[in-house]
Amino acid sequence: MAEEYVVVKDLYKSFKDIKAVDGVSFDIKKGEIFGLLGPNGAGKTTTIRMLSTVLPADKGEISIGGHSVRADAEAVRALIGVCPQELALYEDLSALDNMVFFGRMAGMEGRAAREQAMRNLKLMGLEGRAKGKVSKFSGGMKRRINLAIALMGSPELLFLDEPTVGIDPQSRNHIFQNVLELQKGGLTVLYTTHYMEEADRLCQRTAIMDGGQIIALDTPRNLKSKIGSPDKVTLEDVFLNLTGRSLRD
């Protein structure tokens, strides 16, 4: 198995009396697509925010590409791309200007940022809309732009926090194909989703979180084989079996 690119040890984060992340440990291998599943409020986004240097952990250690997030956040930021759950786009700017802006934020020089922005827009099937204002884009187009932005600066590790919410099967498939292509190029991915079939299709290993803790972590096939024949049960069966049927929030 490949080397560990991400190592998370005993991570904690509380917001007042809410234990959002409550003692989480896992690793992600280089080149792996690692799934993080869990009901609403499980702590997935909070985990990603700590890994991506946005939110300080109360306790625990995170290492990315050999750099400690606590000690060397700058080095970590140079290695990562983040596709946030809430769209982070400037509606009044064009697609291209959004991408160039975020490329510059990632430390790219103007010309290089423009060139990569055009490449990434092409990757997302949006090169014809480069000059279009984002406010005029459909939901699926905005999601694809959100992903194209995360790829600015050519990260080694990509955080995808529910990248396929509210989009049609065509856009979703397009995103899948891109993620798989990027993986072939060596990209490591942390992928969260509420669509179990996505995790089953994309992820080499998947953690299931609930109440701030990881309650299972394995390959999709091994997770399924815990409750039945892996060719008959779905990851959704496993998920409901482990997390129960009560609503979270």
Which positions lie near ligand ATP, rule CB under 6 A?
A: 15, 18, 20, 38, 40-46, 85
Q: Both tokens of residue 6?
A: 């991400």
Alpha carbons within 13 A on the beta-carbon side of 73: 10
Q: Between 94 and 213, name the residue whose CB sits nearer to ligand ATP.
A: 213
Q: How far is the CB of 82 from ligand ATP (least distance, A)?
A: 14
Q: Between 116 and 191, name the residue whose CB sits nearer to ligand ATP.
A: 191
Q: Which residues pair with 59 in a beta bridge?
A: 12
Q: Between 45 and 178, name the residue whose CB sits nearer to ligand ATP.
A: 45
Q: Which residues bind Mg ion (CB under 5 A)?
A: 44-45, 85
Q: Give the span between the Cα atoms of 115 and 148, in whole angstroms.
A: 13
Q: Which residues contact 21 (CB under 8 A, 6 or more apart)?
A: 11, 12, 13, 43, 46, 47, 50, 57, 212
Q: Give the span between the Cα atoms of 64 and 48, in whole angstroms.
A: 12
Q: How far is the CB of 41 from ligand ATP (least distance, A)?
A: 4
Q: Between 17 and 74, name the residue whose CB sits nearer to ligand ATP.
A: 17
Q: How far is the CB of 45 from ligand ATP (least distance, A)?
A: 3
Name the binder of 81 from ligand ATP, Mg ion, none, CB < 5-8 A by kind. none
